[in-house]
């Protein structure tokens, strides 16, 4: 059982919506979701990771988020993680992600 | 004699190379409404219209024996006509090639060109699987395989014995 | 009669002197006893004060060693304390979590590379299919060439040889690409199993970290509660020690009546001295000497009385008037 990912793109922003379980099996879907934007080398694009429908997250998901941050260009783009459920938010905070991402 | 070989299911078949005009990969053909089920349709090769026979159906194979994706990756063996053979081998044209219309046979895999010593050609055995003895000119044991040399005239519906 | 009176008088004077000696001795005894008791009491109170100070020091030292935050920081002071232990645990937990995340990040990067490799493999397969298609076309072409050569009879024989060589090449090329295809298929299997291993490395459930973090936070809260309680206790202990110190101060101060006792004792000594003088003045020879008239005796007695009064007055003027320390300032002693 794994989740599904949907993407909404506008001029400046890519919103990646993750539903269900955000684990290893999602890696292809997740990478495909942002690769189109990052491979162009376009700077200053904003990524929003919407976790409102995410039920579970494991360390591989944390690894994927870190890779997104690197591939999007750490300083040029800002990445915002929104609507995380309390349990998932706790994991993000334990991982010290509030220092690397905007969590709201 | 030189024989052009090919396969049809498990059968290893051969046709006298003098009767063969050319071999092509299978291509789109136009079905002919109201024709026999073994007439797959009409081919247009460089302006010549050729009637294509589905050899498996002509041999009376059931749908089961046709196999999956029948006809998708096949080859067409295009035959010479009576007048074309006549220019090369008049005797053969008279005895083995009565047809004047351009025709072709759909087969599975291409083989090679084999040299057959005529004396080694044997009459068809009594009960061969998958092919009626009527369609067989003769058989040759070849590299542990039984090469069946087709009698193309009967395959195309020209009954040698009844016509002469 | 005269001799009898003189003898009695001599006896009185002698008894009087003896009693005076006894009074002086007892006075000295009282003085010594009081001085001794005061000395011991003062020592005892001072001992009490220093014991109380020491106790306070011990309590403060004990609790500060429990609270010492920077205990392990500089390395010079490796005291183990609860707060240090808990924060050390927290640090280890953070390091552990960071490590797991780092491994996951690197694993996921490896997965990306593996995926890239897989798609490149798929491209190879595509190319091999193209090669096969070419080989097949070559095969058909060579077969047709042989058909044409067959029609040409003897003349076509050389052509037929070339055609069959071409056909062999086509077949070799087909075999070759089949073999490559087989290698690629095996590689794909290996890549998939590598991916499985990486998946295991990358996928760690994070709930352990949350639970552990929760427990560390709880411990931190408990340590803070203990600290608060300890501070409160130290405050109370300090208060009690101050009280003891004050009371000991008051007690020690009270012990200074020793000076008063000394002064009183000196005054008593002087009075005893005056009384001794009186006993000498009351020499029976003076009263009962030959040829003394009654008037002479009267005059001599009056002189003795006057001398005695003067002596007492002199002593009283220099004596301490206070009978209680509360009535005067201690500075006066």
pLDDT of C76 over the 50 cut? no
Q: How far is CA C211 from CA A90, B83, C214, in A?
A: 10, 92, 5
Determine whether the interchain pair B88/C151 forms a contact, defined as Cβ–Cβ distance below 8 Å. Answer: yes
Interface size, chain B vs chain C, as Cβ–Cβ contacts under 8 Å: 34
- The two counts, helices (H) then strands (E), for chain B are 6, 10
Following DSSP, what letter does each residue of C45-110 receive, concatenated? HHHHHHHHHHHHHHHHHHHHHHH-TTTTTSSS-----HHHHHHHHHHHHHHHHHHHHHHHHHHHHH
Q: pLDDT of C209-267, one tens digit each?
A: 888 888 888 988 988 898 888 888 888 988 888 898 888 888 888 777 777 888 888 88
Any CB–CB contact under 8 A between A15 and chain C?
no
Report CA dihedral (A77, A81, A82, A84) to the nearest 10 degrees.
180
| Residues in CB range of B38: below 8 A, 6 or more apart | B53, B54, B55, B57, B58
Tell me how far apart the 2 most distant CA atoms of chain B are, in Å.
44
- Asked if A23 lies within 8 A of C203 by C-beta distance, the reply is yes
Measured between alpha carbons, how far is B92 from C146 in angstroms, rounded to an integer? 19
- Is the pLDDT reported for residue A24 higher than 90? yes
Q: Is it true that domain C82-225 has CATH number 1.10.287.950?
A: yes
Which residues contact residue C9 at a Cβ distance below 8 angstroms, ignoring those fewer than 6 apart?
A: C282, C284, C287, C288
Angle at B141 between CA B128 and CA B7, to 5 degrees: 65
Q: Where in chain C is the domain with CATH 1.20.120?
A: 2-61+238-325
**What gap in Å lies between CA C288 and CA B35, rounded to an integer?**
195
CB nearest to B23's CB, from C143, C150, C164: C143
Is residue C204's pLDDT more than 80?
A: yes
Full set of structural domains in chain B with CATH: 2-163 (2.40.50.180)
Evaluate whether B135 touches B150 at the Cβ level (below 8 Å).
yes
Q: Where are the domains of chain A?
A: 4-103
* Residue C226, helix vs strand vs coil: helix
Contact A55, A21 (CB under 8 A): yes
- Residue with more model confidence, C301 or C178: C178
Nearest to C147 among B17, B25, B75 (CB): B17
Q: CATH second-level architecture of A4-103?
A: 2-Layer Sandwich (3.30)
What pTM does this model have? 0.63
ipTM: 0.91
Cross-strand pairs, A56: A21
| Secondary structure percentages of chain B, helix, strand, coil, to 5 | 25, 40, 35
Architecture of domain C2-61+238-325: Up-down Bundle (1.20)
How many beta-carbon contacts under 8 Å exist across A and C?
Answer: 74
Consecutive H or E run containing A8: strand A4-9
**Average pLDDT for chain B:** 86
Chain A residues with CB under 8 Å of C191 CB are none
Torsion angle, CA of A25/A26/A28/A30, rounded to 10 degrees?
Answer: -170
Which of C100, C109, C115 lies closest to A59 in CB terms?
C100
* Tokens read off for C269: 């000594």
Query: Is B75 in contact with C140 (Cβ distance < 8 A)?
Result: yes
d(CA A84, CA C189): 37
Between these two residues, B159 and B101, which has the higher pLDDT value? B101
C279 interfaces chain B, CB cutoff of 8 Å: no
CB-CB: which of C105, C203, C213 is closest to A66? C105
Chains that touch C (3 or more CB pairs under 8 A): A, B
CATH 1.10.287.950 location in chain C: 82-225
Rounded distance between C-alpha atoms, residue B94 and residue B86, angstroms: 8
Contact B23 C136 (CB under 8 A): no
Rounded to whole angstroms, the Cα distance separating C238 from B57 reads 112
CA-closest candidate to residue C210, choices A89, A70, B162, B67: A89
- Report the residue of chain A nearest C212, measured CA to CA: A94
Q: Say if A31 is an interface residue toward chain C (CB within 8 Å).
A: yes
Report the pLDDT averaged over residues A35-43.
Answer: 78
| Any C CB within 8 A of A36 CB | no
Model pLDDT for residues B86-112, shown as the tens digit of each residue = 888 888 888 888 999 999 999 999 888
Within a 13 Å sphere around the CA of B84, how many CA atoms are in the beta-carbon half? 17
């Amino acid at each position: 059982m794994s989740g599904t990912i949907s993407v909404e793109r506008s001029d400046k922003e890519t919103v990646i919506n993750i539903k269900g379980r955000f684990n290893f099996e999602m890696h292809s879907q997740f990478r495909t979701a942002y690769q189109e934007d990052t491979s162009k080398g376009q700077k200053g694009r904003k990524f929003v990771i919407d976790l409102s429908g995410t039920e579970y997250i494991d360390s591989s998901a944390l690894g994927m988020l870190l890779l997104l941050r690197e591939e999007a260009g750490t300083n040029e783009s800002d990445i915002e993680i929104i609507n995380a459920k309390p349990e998932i938010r706790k994991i993000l905070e334990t991982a010290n992600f509030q220092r690397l991402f905007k969590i709201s | 004699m030189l024989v052009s070989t090919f396969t049809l299911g498990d059968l290893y078949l051969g046709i006298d190379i003098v009767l063969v005009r050319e071999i092509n990969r299978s291509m789109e053909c136009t079905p002919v409404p109201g024709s026999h089920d073994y007439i797959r349709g009409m081919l247009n090769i460089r302006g010549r219209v050729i009637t294509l026979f589905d050899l498996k159906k002509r041999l009376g194979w059931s749908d089961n024996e046709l196999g999956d994706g029948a006809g998708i990756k096949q080859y067409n063996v295009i035959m010479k006509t009576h007048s074309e053979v006549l220019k090369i081998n008049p005797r053969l044209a008279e005895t083995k090639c009565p047809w004047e219309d351009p025709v072709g046979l759909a087969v599975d895999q291409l083989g090679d060109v084999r040299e057959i010593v005529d004396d080694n050609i044997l009459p068809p055995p009594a009960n061969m699987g998958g092919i009626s003895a009527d369609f067989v000119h003769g058989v040759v044991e070849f590299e542990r395989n039984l090469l069946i040399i087709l009698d193309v005239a009967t395959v195309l519906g020209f009954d040698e014995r009844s016509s002469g | 009669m005269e001799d009898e009176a003189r003898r009695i008088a001599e006896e009185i004077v002698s008894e009087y002197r003896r009693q005076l000696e006894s009074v002086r001795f007892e006075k000295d005894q009282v003085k010594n006893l009081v001085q001794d008791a005061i000395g011991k009491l003062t020592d005892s109170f001072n001992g009490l004060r220093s014991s109380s100070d020491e106790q306070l020091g011990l309590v403060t030292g004990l609790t500060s060693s429990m609270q010492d935050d920077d205990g392990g920081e500089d390395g010079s002071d490796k005291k183990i304390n609860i707060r240090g232990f808990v924060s050390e645990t927290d640090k280890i937990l953070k390091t552990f979590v960071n490590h797991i995340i780092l491994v996951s990040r690197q694993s996921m990067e490896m997965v990306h590379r593996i995926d890239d490799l897989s798609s490149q493999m798929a491209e190879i397969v595509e190319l091999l299919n193209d090669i096969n298609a070419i080989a097949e076309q070559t095969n058909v072409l060579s077969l047709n060439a042989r058909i044409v050569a067959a029609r040409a009879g003897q003349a076509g024989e050389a052509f037929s040889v070339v055609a069959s060589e071409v056909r062999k090449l086509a077949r070799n090329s087909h075999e070759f690409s089949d073999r490559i295809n087989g290698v690629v298929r095996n590689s794909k299997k290996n890549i998939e199993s590598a991916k499985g291993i990486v998946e295991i490395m990358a996928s760690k459930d994070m709930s352990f970290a949350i639970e552990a973090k929760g427990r560390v936070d709880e411990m931190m809260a408990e340590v803070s509660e203990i600290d608060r309680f300890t501070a409160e206790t130290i405050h109370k202990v300090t208060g009690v020690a101050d009280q003891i110190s004050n009371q000991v101060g008051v007690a020690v101060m009270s012990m200074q009546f020793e000076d008063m006792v000394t002064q009183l004792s000196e005054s008593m000594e002087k009075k005893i001295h005056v009384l001794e003088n009186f006993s000498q003045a009351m020499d029976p020879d003076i009263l009962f000497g030959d040829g003394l008239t009654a008037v002479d005796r009267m005059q001599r007695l009056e002189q003795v009385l006057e001398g005695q009064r003067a002596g007492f007055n002199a002593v009283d003027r220099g004596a301490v008037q206070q009978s209680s320390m509360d009535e005067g300032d201690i500075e006066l002693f």
